[in-house]
Chains A and B, each alone.
Chain A
Amino acid sequence: MTAVIRVKDVVFSYGGPVVLEDVHLDVEDGEFLGVVGPNAGGKSTLLRLMLGLLEPTAGSIEVGGREPSEGSRAIGYVPQYPPFARDFPITVEQTVLLGRLGTAHVIGGYSRGDRDIAARVMTETEILNIRNRRLNTLSGGQLQRVLLARALACEPKILMLDEPTANIDARMESDIFALLRQLNQRATIIVVSHDIGFISQYVRRVACVNRTLICHSTLAIDGKVIQDLYGGDVHMVEHAHA
């Protein structure tokens, strides 16, 4: 197994207190990794460092053996808080097509191939029927699928999702994770979640982030681990591992 992402001795602060400290993480090719931890623990920050959107204060990060800012072309990213205005005049299909940017020619419109790929990923995420809707007419769950489709349109080797199911109902959450499990056959997946119990059905390994990072096999998660991570009283719910 080879590491597609290597995070070594990373320290990061936004200028104030240290947000991440001594973070080591090797993400293996083809892995399905869960990232969990308390609010403000630094999960989103860690993803943004791997994407090259932030620079580590100390330490180094490699994506596919390259600098994150170059390697990030191989990553499809679904942000926790999309930075765009919801009332922007853009359709679902146009949003998904943006994932094709930077793949081929610079000048002019999208190619036939780009449109085919967009249609394929919209089918996969079950949004083909709303392709002509404007973004501000979508529900939270639909928007989340559009963002996933945009990330898939990049044809990524690595898929990074930051709390993709935070604002949607439980059934749709299962749907999305079932889709991710399927996508894992062609891409490495890193998914941030607040729900350690739920994602441990899907992932083989979780990285627990709370300023520092500790990895656990999902088989080894017990009340002690969770209590150390979250620091409070947490109830264990029994569940089966895949």
Chain B
Amino acid sequence: MEFFQALTQHAFLQHALLGGLLASIGCGVMGSYVVVKRIGFLAGGIAHAVLGGMGAAFFFGAEPMYGALIAAIIVALLIGWVTLGWRQQEDTLISAMWAVGMAAGILFISQTPGYQIDLMTYLFGNILLVTSKDLWLMMALDVVLLLLVMLFYRQFLAVAFDEEFARLRGVPVALFYMLLLCLVAVSVVLLIQIVGLILVIALLTLPAAIALHYVQTIGRMMIVATFLGALFCVSGLAVSYQPDLPAGATIILVAGVAYLLSTVLSSLRQRHRARAITSR
């Protein structure tokens, strides 16, 4: 309750809340693709390698979020190119980029004075530091993301569901796969603001994975996952506020517990249904 009182008084909390809501859109929409296409590891690679770009931006005195965005897109294109061309060694190559990106980031940051504070912020996020400038960037990214997904909904669905069939229908599969990865990269950047790059992958996959327990279509999955993402961000923020816990970690724990409960619940429900059928 104290949280909601504070919310009316402090601009930084309002920013945090708005940031959480804006990030939820990326997490719901692109997280659904990540879950159904089973590219969680790939998204993890993008998220971690992004530290290279943030570190470089930090070192050269640029805005770290722009560095993150550029790095995320470059890494997404590299990983996409690798998975299209060398499917056999996909794992190894993604792991390599994952580690090399982080290593480069750490080197850049270590060479910049005053690095101790910022490194933790990048790794684990700090939702309370979201500025109004960040919010504008997040909103712009959400608009781009939603626009592209709405315009090419059918193509993205075809590429996520059945690449081979999409290719036979003349859909430029490689192009849309690359675009999909770039949009995943964009949502990674959105979420880094909230939970940092180490925890991104949880917020990208957990709400979507929970939604998958209850929906028939990927469109519904996106809507439910967005609401769940927003719910986790807000409740995590509220829970962490008074005891002054790290907000990012709290949000992830809330999401993790919800996922666990939902998994148990839906498997019980399935078993119940199976029993109802056999006893009929």
The distance in angstroms between the C-alpha atoms of A85 and B212, with both chains bound, is 13
| A residues in contact with B164, CB < 8 Å | 53, 79, 83
**Inter-chain contact count A-B, CB under 8 Å?**
78
The distance in angstroms between the C-alpha atoms of A138 and B241, with both chains bound, is 47
The distance in angstroms between the C-alpha atoms of A132 and B216, with both chains bound, is 8
Q: Is the CB of A84 within 8 A of B158?
A: no
B87 within 8 A of A: no
Q: Encode A39-65 as 1/0 by CB contact (under 8 A) with B.
A: 000000000000111000000000000
Q: Is the CB of B155 within 8 A of A134?
A: no
The distance in angstroms between the C-alpha atoms of A107 and B6, with both chains bound, is 45
Q: Encode B153-167 as 1/0 by CB contact (under 8 A) with A.
A: 111011011111111
Query: Nearest-CB distance from B230 to chain A (Å)?
Result: 20
Q: Encode A73-114 as 1/0 by CB contact (under 8 A) with B.
A: 101010100111101111100110111011000111110000
| B residues in contact with A88, CB < 8 Å | 36, 160-161, 218
Q: Is the CB of B218 within 8 A of A90?
A: yes
Q: Is the CB of A102 within 8 A of B218?
A: no
B62 within 8 A of A: no
| A residues in contact with B73, CB < 8 Å | none
A210 within 8 A of B: no
Q: Which residue of B lies closest to A73 (CB)?
A: B170
| B residues in contact with A98, CB < 8 Å | 154, 157-158, 161-162, 165-166, 169
| A residues in contact with B221, CB < 8 Å | 89
| B residues in contact with A77, CB < 8 Å | 165, 168
B217 within 8 A of A: yes
Query: Nearest-CB distance from B96 to chain A (Å)?
Result: 25
| A residues in contact with B166, CB < 8 Å | 98, 101
Q: Is the CB of B155 within 8 A of A83?
A: no
B254 within 8 A of A: no
B198 within 8 A of A: no
Interface residues of B in 103-162 (CB under 8 A from A): 150-155, 157-158, 160-162
B215 within 8 A of A: yes
The distance in angstroms between the C-alpha atoms of A82 and B163, with both chains bound, is 11
Given contacts A85-B36, A110-B154, contact A90 B171 (CB under 8 A): no
Given contacts A88-B161, A90-B157, contact A102 B216 (CB under 8 A): no
| B residues in contact with A109, CB < 8 Å | 153-154
Q: Is the CB of A84 within 8 A of B167?
A: no
Q: Which residue of B lies closest to A114 (CB)?
A: B154
| A residues in contact with B154, CB < 8 Å | 97-98, 101, 109-110
Q: Which residue of B lies closest to A110 (CB)?
A: B154
| B residues in contact with A85, CB < 8 Å | 36, 38
The distance in angstroms between the C-alpha atoms of A87 and B157, with both chains bound, is 14
A144 within 8 A of B: no
Q: Is the CB of B161 within 8 A of A101?
A: no
Query: Nearest-CB distance from A155 to chain B (Å)?
Result: 12
Query: Nearest-CB distance from B163 to chain A (Å)?
Result: 7
| B residues in contact with A102, CB < 8 Å | 169-171
Query: Nearest-CB distance from B19 to chain A (Å)?
Result: 28
Q: Is the CB of B215 within 8 A of A89?
A: yes
Query: Nearest-CB distance from A147 to chain B (Å)?
Result: 9
| B residues in contact with A75, CB < 8 Å | 168
Given contacts A75-B168, A88-B36, A91-B217, contact A101 B212 (CB under 8 A): no
Query: Nearest-CB distance from B150 to chain A (Å)?
Result: 8
The distance in angstroms between the C-alpha atoms of A83 and B173, with both chains bound, is 15
Given contacts A88-B161, A98-B161, A109-B153, contact A51 B168 (CB under 8 A): yes
The distance in angstroms between the C-alpha atoms of A168 and B212, with both chains bound, is 29
Query: Nearest-CB distance from B228 to chain A (Å)?
Result: 15
Most buried by A among B150, B165, B169, B171: B165
A-B contact pairs, 7 of them (CB 8 A): A77-B165, A88-B36, A88-B161, A89-B215, A98-B165, A106-B155, A108-B153
Residues of A within 8 A of B (CB): 51-53, 72-73, 75, 77, 79, 82-85, 87-91, 94-95, 97-99, 101-102, 106-110, 132, 134, 150, 154
